[in-house]
């Protein structure tokens, strides 16, 4: 079982404990769709506060991996360990409550709700009151709602969005929608956050800001982050470990420098060098 | 035998349902009531205008086709971009409208429709088949074969298949969405018209609410066979017809309606796409 | 009541509740007194009672369509279950006078409908959109046919089928109807304006995203559907006590559609819309007695026209409309909340 190579801490956060207590571990994970083997032998270990990247050419199966991890698809084989819990038999909402949150490639916000409400949906399970309390409007209800609102505003301030609380989610510009989705996922109090192409459609300035914010999130909330991205500057810039996927299989794992110089990876993206094709 | 006869009627109507659903993903509740209109047209032509049965049949089919197209243009086209719920509700509204208009114009009672055709019974061994039953069966089978040819071989058929797979791309290929949808409705309604005539041949009565139960059962047939699938509609129709005949034979005719719906529920639970249906998966 | 709005910022939540309760009590007792004294004619009383019943029906279906985003077409079935359960109970249990027994009858009606609703929900809620519509339609029809024919199966007279269940104590009056309407409104409103309501709306808006936020969609869909059935059952029980006679044919597909029209015209997802639309659609036919022939035609035409020009219904957008009457009742409370915690929707 190979791991993503641990990187020495930069003095900002405690030592990354990849080898000792991983937050996510997949063992022989795979799925078939009919006769097509979409993902196979997906073995990965991610440390508690690690920022990891999953890259690969289009169609390699990256989002499929996310869907497997979050049980949108049930795996055909393999095990997923979240913390020390085996997630087999869990469905998507259970996996989320166990500590794995995600964003989507094509943004899935609650478009008719406001920004604040979207985040508060993420906070659903951390608000403590029950239905009878809500109906009778006992003090616990008012307290719960107030706390939830405050927390939502708090979280929105990571991205400086606290003033947009009352805006309808569907009315936000694209970049803001992506950021809102991240905040909402964060609100579910995960131990690992899966980001599916968070920088898609962003310009270089926004991307640089996003990079800062992702690191800030990791530092503030002490969680692991696994992201899918095509933007190499972002991936090489903030990921401490990278896994490369091609045709559903991992072809390389390592630090950004190792991946940059890996021939298999280069081939996967750019094709074989001329002259080697007939070799 | 009775089962096959009603079955073929259901099949014809189910074909219309399936075609429309395949194209614009709408359960056209008004489809059943188009049949009712067909029946009344036949009655009108034969009783009021004193025309020959042949003319009445042609008139009925024509009326159904026209009505189907008109409904599509007036009520469904404006809602093409609207949420599916709204479209469904509109279809229900149209269905209601037709029923109540008919009730207003013709009264709530049933009107006897004169014999459409006189066919002798045929004896095969110990089973006596009525002429109407044979004609019904034959017409249905012919209709299905023709429809299949239409879908598979003709240009319009190809267009219909393309639109039902992917509306956007079909348009990019130069297919006129409106024409294709209108054509689908026209063919579906024409089939319903034929179905109404055949139904009247077996049960010579026209009443305002005859369409709704008939339509619902035909719809169950379409779902059973796989909604969106042409041969499926045929299979479904025959299954339902036979099942009903079976129930009556067992003396349980009171429970006929409930049984049909029970079949629907079982299908939807066990295999929602029906016997021959297609699977529509949402992409995450 | 309108004049209170400006001053409510300083009024604490408790006082707001006091005002609401006082108003409610006043209407309840005042209304009962007025009607009891004979100032309102028997005819008008009947219309008012029927309005109340239809309001509860509309609100219950609104819960399913507006908030769950699904279209159940068998709602009359739940009403029938509530009506028959309550009626059979009221006819056969005599340990207390009917007036005292009626609350139990209503409860039994509601619970029976909720129970069957729960069972139906298990298969039905796995389906989407059109399929859900059709399967609920199927169940509605099955319920009707069962009620019609079950006496033959059971061997004894339970529902009397087509012969009608007669001699049901007419215990429905303004007091209990108004009370039920108020409770329905209150429960639905407070539920929606809570984290459970948010979860329900999230499930409607984007099911996959809701699951990804840890919300069990099955739980909330089932809960919404069951509660919706419960209140339909309550309305059915009131209906039985109002009419005194029940026949399965009055609970067919037509009835389901009538309720649907009410909800759609009022706006799916708008409580105020349902209340207003139910009231108008109940009272109007009485007023327009002369044109009763055209009533159904007008309904259907209205339905089609509204759908074409305003697919979300006359009053509602999909958001839970804050301009509800109840909203203004609790407006005091919400304004106070605004001061405490952050913006309100």
Note whether C87 and C250 are within 8 A (CB).
Answer: no
Q: Which residues pair with A30 in a beta bridge?
A: A77
Per-residue pLDDT at C202 exceeds 60: yes
Q: Place C345 in a pLDDT band, splitting at 50, 70 and 90.
A: very low
Per-residue pLDDT at A68 exceeds 90: yes
Residues from chain B that touch C293, judged by Cβ atoms under 8 A, are 104
Beta strand A100-102 with A192-196 is parallel
Tokens, residue B40: 């009344």
Note whether C195 and A124 are within 8 A (CB).
Answer: yes
Note whether A234 and A211 are within 8 A (CB).
Answer: yes
Q: Which of C196, C205, C342 sits opposite A110 (nearest CB)?
A: C205
Query: What residues does each domain of chain B span?
Result: 2-108+118-209
Q: A96–C213: do the CB atoms touch at under 8 Å?
A: yes
Mean pLDDT computed over every residue of chain A: 85
Q: Which of A121, A131, A150 sits opposite C198 (nearest CB)?
A: A121
Cα-Cα-Cα-Cα dihedral sign, residues B54, B56, B61, B65: positive
Q: Place B179 in a pLDDT band, splitting at 50, 70 and 90.
A: confident
How near does any CA of chain C get to the CA of B162, in Å? 22
Angle at A220 between CA A17 and CA A13, to 5 degrees: 35
Per-residue pLDDT at A54 exceeds 80: yes
Q: What is the pLDDT of residues C274-299, one digit of tens each?
A: 888 888 888 877 766 666 667 777 77
Q: Place A277 in a pLDDT band, splitting at 50, 70 and 90.
A: very low
CB pairs under 8 A between A and B: 4
Q: Does A87 lie at the interface with C, CB-CB under 8 angstroms?
A: no
Q: What is the pLDDT of residues B193-208, one digit of tens each?
A: 888 877 777 777 677 7
Q: What is the pLDDT of residues C220-245, one digit of tens each?
A: 989 989 999 999 999 999 999 888 88
Q: B97–C304: do the CB atoms touch at under 8 Å?
A: yes
Answer with the residue of higher pLDDT: B111 or A202: A202
Tokens, residue C187: 């429960």
**Tokens 């509306």 label which residue?**
B167
Give me the DSSP letters along C281-299. Answer: HHHHHHHTGGGHHHHHHHH
Q: How far apart are CA A38 and CA B280, in angstroms?
A: 19
At C2 the pLDDT is 39
Q: Does A112 lie at the interface with C, CB-CB under 8 angstroms?
A: yes
Q: Which of B25, B86, B93 sits opposite C300 (nearest CB)?
A: B93
**What are φ and ψ of residue A55, in 5° steps?**
-125, 170
Q: Which residues of B touch C (CB under 8 A)?
A: 25-27, 75, 78-79, 82-90, 92-97, 99-101, 103-104, 212, 216, 219-220, 223, 254-255, 257-258, 261-262, 264-265, 268-269, 272, 282, 284
Q: Does C253 lie at the interface with B, CB-CB under 8 angstroms?
A: yes
- Residue A115: which H helix or E strand, with range? helix A115-122
Q: How far apart are CA C111 and CA C231, in angstroms?
A: 9
Give me the DSSP letters along C140-159. Answer: HHHHHHHHHHHHHHHSS-SS
At C7 the pLDDT is 37
How near does any CA of chain C get to the CA of B274, in Å? 12
Mean pLDDT of B102-113: 72
Q: Does C150 lie at the interface with B, CB-CB under 8 angstroms?
A: no
Name the nearest CA neighbour of C236 among C172, C296, C175: C172
Q: How far apart are CA C119 and CA C115, in angstroms?
A: 6
In percent, the amount of chain B with pLDDT more than 70 equals 84
Which residue intervals of chain A bear CATH 3.40.50.300?
1-99+190-279, 108-189
Q: What is the pLDDT of residues C8-53, one digit of tens each?
A: 344 455 666 677 777 777 777 777 777 777 767 777 788 888 999 9
Best-predicted range by mean pLDDT (B216-230, B267-281, C30-44): B216-230
At A109 the pLDDT is 93
Q: Does A134 lie at the interface with C, CB-CB under 8 angstroms?
A: yes
Q: Does C61 lie at the interface with B, CB-CB under 8 angstroms?
A: no
How near does any CA of chain A get to the CA of C141, in Å? 33
Q: B258–C141: do the CB atoms touch at under 8 Å?
A: yes
**Which residue of chain C is at minimal alpha-carbon distance from B74?**
C308
At A15 the pLDDT is 43
Q: Place A116 in a pLDDT band, splitting at 50, 70 and 90.
A: very high
Q: What is the pLDDT of residues C127-144, one digit of tens each?
A: 777 778 888 888 998 898
Angle at C247 between CA C55 and CA B36, to 5 degrees: 90
Q: Which chains touch B (3 or more CB pairs under 8 A)?
A: A, C
Angle at C6 between CA C1 and CA C8, to 5 degrees: 80
**Tokens 């389906």 label which residue?**
C127
How near does any CA of chain A get to the CA of B284, in Å? 8
At A95 the pLDDT is 93
CATH 3.30.300.20 fits A1-99+190-279, yes or no: no
Q: C123–B82: do the CB atoms touch at under 8 Å?
A: no
C245: three-class secondary structure by DSSP = coil
Tokens, residue C325: 């009457």
* Least confident range of A50-54, C183-187, C272-276: C272-276
At B282 the pLDDT is 47
Note whether B263 and B243 are within 8 A (CB).
Answer: yes
Residues from chain A that touch C342, judged by Cβ atoms under 8 A, are 116, 146, 149-150, 152-153, 165
Query: What residues does each domain of chain C span?
Result: 2-336
Per-residue pLDDT at A235 exceeds 50: yes
Q: Does C292 lie at the interface with B, CB-CB under 8 angstroms?
A: no
Q: Return the residue in C66, C192, C195, C202 with the most chain A beta carbons within 10 A, the one to mutate for interface testing.
A: C195
At A185 the pLDDT is 94
Note whether A222 and A189 are within 8 A (CB).
Answer: no
CATH 3.40.50.300 fits A108-189, yes or no: yes
Answer with the residue of higher pLDDT: C279 or B2: C279
Beta strand A85-86 with A77-82 is antiparallel
Q: Which residues pair with A37 in a beta bridge?
A: A32
How near does any CA of chain B get to the CA of A6, in Å? 32
Mean pLDDT of A142-160: 89
Q: Does C131 lie at the interface with B, CB-CB under 8 angstroms?
A: yes
Q: Place C337 in a pLDDT band, splitting at 50, 70 and 90.
A: very low
Q: How far apart are CA C240 and CA C80, in angstroms?
A: 9
CB pairs under 8 A between A and C: 121
**Which residue of chain B is at minimal alpha-carbon distance from C126?**
B269
Q: Which chains touch A (3 or more CB pairs under 8 A)?
A: B, C
Q: How far apart are CA B122 and CA C94, in angstroms?
A: 64
**Which residue of chain C is at minimal alpha-carbon distance from B90?**
C304
Q: Look up the CATH number of domain C2-336.
A: 1.10.3470
For B231, other C-beta atoms within 10 Å of its C-beta total: 17
Judged by CB atoms within 8 Å, which residues 150-179 of A form the interface with C? 150, 152-153, 165-166
Q: Which of C65, C135, C296 sits opposite B264 (nearest CB)?
A: C135
Per-residue pLDDT at B130 exceeds 90: no
Answer with the residue of higher pLDDT: B146 or C12: B146
Mean pLDDT computed over every residue of chain C: 77
At C316 the pLDDT is 56
Tokens, residue C330: 């609790």
Q: C343–A166: do the CB atoms touch at under 8 Å?
A: yes
Mean pLDDT of A215-243: 90
Note whether B200 and B42 are within 8 A (CB).
Answer: yes
Q: Which of A124, A153, A187 sits opposite C195 (nearest CB)?
A: A124
Answer with the residue of higher pLDDT: B87 or A246: A246
**What are φ and ψ of residue B202, in 5° steps?**
-85, -45
Per-residue pLDDT at A69 exceeds 90: yes
Q: How far apart are CA B194 and CA C152, in angstroms?
A: 38
Judged by CB atoms within 8 Å, which residues 265-284 of B form the interface with A? 284
B279: three-class secondary structure by DSSP = coil
Residues from chain B that touch C311, judged by Cβ atoms under 8 A, are 79, 82-83, 86
Q: B272–C131: do the CB atoms touch at under 8 Å?
A: yes
Q: Return the residue in C300, C309, C314 with the most chain B beta carbons within 10 A, the one to mutate for interface testing.
A: C300
- What's the DSSP call for residue A277? T
For C223, other C-beta atoms within 10 Å of its C-beta total: 19
Q: Place A14 in a pLDDT band, splitting at 50, 70 and 90.
A: very low
Q: Which of C17, C210, C343 sits opposite A116 (nearest CB)?
A: C343
Note whether C271 and C193 are within 8 A (CB).
Answer: no
Per-residue pLDDT at B189 exceeds 50: yes
Mean pLDDT computed over every residue of chain B: 77
Q: What is the pLDDT of residues B28-73, one digit of tens each?
A: 788 888 888 888 887 777 776 666 667 777 888 888 888 888 888 8
Q: Which chains touch C (3 or more CB pairs under 8 A)?
A: A, B
- Residue B266: which H helix or E strand, with range? helix B256-270
pTM, two decimals, is: 0.81
Tokens, residue A49: 């506060």
Q: Alpha helices of C213-289 — where are they, by DSSP H?
A: 217-243, 253-266, 271-287
How near does any CA of chain B get to the CA of C316, in Å? 13
Enter the ipTM: 0.83
Q: Which of C138, C264, C312 sits opposite B265 (nearest CB)?
A: C138
Best-predicted range by mean pLDDT (A166-180, B71-85, C62-76): A166-180
């Amino acid at each position: 079982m190979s791991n993503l190579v641990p990187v020495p801490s930069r003095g900002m956060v405690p030592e990354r404990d990849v080898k000792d207590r991983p937050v996510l571990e997949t063992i022989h994970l795979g799925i078939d769709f009919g006769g097509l083997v979409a993902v196979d032998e997906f073995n990965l270990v991610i440390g508690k506060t690690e920022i990891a990247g999953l890259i690969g050419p289009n169609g390699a199966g990256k989002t499929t991996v996310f869907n497997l991890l979050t049980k949108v698809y049930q795996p055909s084989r393999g095990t997923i360990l979240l913390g020390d819990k085996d997630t087999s038999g869990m469905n998507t909402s259970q996996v989320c409550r166990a500590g794995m949150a995600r964003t989507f490639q094509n943004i899935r916000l609650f478009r008719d709700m406001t920004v604040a409400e979207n985040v508060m949906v993420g906070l659903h399970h951390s608000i403590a009151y029950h239905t009878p309390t809500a109906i009778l409007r006992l003090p616990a209800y008012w307290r719960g709602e107030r706390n939830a609102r405050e927390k939502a505003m708090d979280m929105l301030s990571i991205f400086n969005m606290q003033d947009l609380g009352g805006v309808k989610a569907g009315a936000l510009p694209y970049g803001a929608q992506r950021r809102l989705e991240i905040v909402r996922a964060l609100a579910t109090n995960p131990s690992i956050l899966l980001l599916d192409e968070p920088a898609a459609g962003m310009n270089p300035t926004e991307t640089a800001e996003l990079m800062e914010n992702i690191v800030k999130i990791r530092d503030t909330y002490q969680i692991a982050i696994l992201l899918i991205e095509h933007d190499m500057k972002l991936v090489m810039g903030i990921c401490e470990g990278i896994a490369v996927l091609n045709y559903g299989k991992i072809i390389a794992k390592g630090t950004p420098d190792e991946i940059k110089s890996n021939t298999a990876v280069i081939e996967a993206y750019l094709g074989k060098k001329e002259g080697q094709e007939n070799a | 035998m009775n089962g096959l006869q009603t079955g073929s009627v259901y099949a014809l109507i189910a074909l219309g349902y399936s075609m429309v659903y395949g194209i614009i993903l709408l359960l056209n509740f008004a489809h059943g009531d188009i049949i009712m209109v067909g029946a009344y047209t036949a009655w009108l032509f034969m009783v009021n205008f004193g025309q020959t049965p042949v003319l009445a049949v042609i008139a009925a089919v024509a009326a159904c086709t026209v009505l189907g197209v008109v409904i599509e243009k007036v009520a469904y086209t404006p809602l093409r971009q609207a949420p599916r719920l709204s479209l469904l509700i509109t279809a229900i509204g149209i269905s209601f409208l037709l029923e109540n208009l008919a009730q207003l114009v013709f009264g709530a009672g049933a009107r006897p429709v004169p014999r459409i055709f006189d066919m002798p019974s045929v004896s095969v061994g110990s089973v006596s088949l009525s002429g109407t039953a044979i004609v019904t069966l034959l017409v249905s089978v012919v209709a299905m074969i023709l429809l299949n040819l239409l879908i598979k071989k003709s240009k319009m058929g190809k267009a219909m298949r393309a639109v039902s797979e992917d509306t956007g791309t079909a348009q990019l290929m130069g297919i006129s969405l409106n024409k294709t949808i209108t054509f689908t409705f026209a063919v579906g309604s024409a089939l319903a018209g034929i179905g109404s005539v055949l139904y009247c041949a077996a049960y010579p009565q026209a009443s305002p609410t005859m369409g709704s139960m008939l339509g619902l059962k035909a719809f169950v047939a379409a779902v059973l066979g796989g909604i969106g699938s042409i041969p499926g509609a045929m299979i479904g129709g025959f299954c339902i017809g036979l099942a009903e005949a079976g129930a009556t034979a067992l003396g349980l005719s009171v429970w006929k309606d409930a049984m049909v719906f029970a079949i629907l529920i079982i299908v939807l639970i066990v295999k929602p796409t029906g016997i021959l249906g297609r699977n529509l998966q949402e992409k995450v | 009541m309108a004049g209170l709005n400006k001053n409510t910022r300083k009024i604490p939540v408790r006082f707001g509740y006091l005002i609401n309760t006082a108003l409610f009590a006043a209407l309840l007792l005042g209304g009962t007194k007025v009607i009891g004294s004979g100032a309102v004619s028997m005819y008008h009383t009947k219309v008012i009672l029927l309005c109340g019943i239809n309001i509860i029906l509309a609100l219950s279906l609104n819960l399913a369509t507006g908030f769950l985003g699904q279209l159940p077409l068998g709602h009359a079935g739940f009403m029938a279950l509530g009506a028959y359960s309550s009626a059979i109970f009221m006819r056969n249990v005599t340990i207390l006078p009917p007036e005292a027994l009626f609350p139990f009858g209503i409860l039994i009606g509601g619970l029976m409908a909720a129970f069957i609703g729960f069972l139906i929900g298990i298969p039905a809620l796995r389906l989407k959109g059109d399929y859900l519509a059709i399967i609920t339609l199927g169940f509605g029809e099955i319920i009707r046919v069962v009620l019609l024919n079950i006496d033959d199966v059971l061997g004894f007279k339970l529902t009397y089928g087509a012969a009608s269940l007669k001699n049901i104590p007419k215990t429905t009056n303004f007091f209990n109807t108004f009370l039920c309407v108020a409770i329905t409104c209150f429960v639905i409103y407070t539920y929606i304006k809570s984290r459970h309501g948010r979860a329900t709306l999230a499930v409607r808006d984007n099911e996959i995203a809701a699951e990804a936020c840890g919300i069990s969609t099955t739980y909330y869909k089932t809960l919404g559907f069951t509660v919706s059935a419960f209140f339909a059952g309550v309305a059915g029980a009131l209906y039985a006590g109002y009419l005194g006679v029940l026949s399965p044919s009055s609970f067919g597909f037509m009835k389901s559609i009538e309720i649907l029209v009410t909800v759609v015209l009022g706006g799916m997802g708008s409580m105020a819309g349902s209340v207003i639309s139910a009231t108008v659609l109940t009272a109007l036919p009485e007023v327009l007695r002369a044109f009763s022939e055209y009533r159904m035609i007008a309904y259907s035409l209205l339905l089609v026209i509204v759908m074409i020009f305003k697919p979300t219904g006359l009053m509602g957008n999909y958001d839970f409309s804050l301009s509800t009457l109840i909203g203004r009742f609790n407006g005091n409370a919400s304004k106070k909340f605004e001061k405490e915690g952050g913006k309100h929707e």
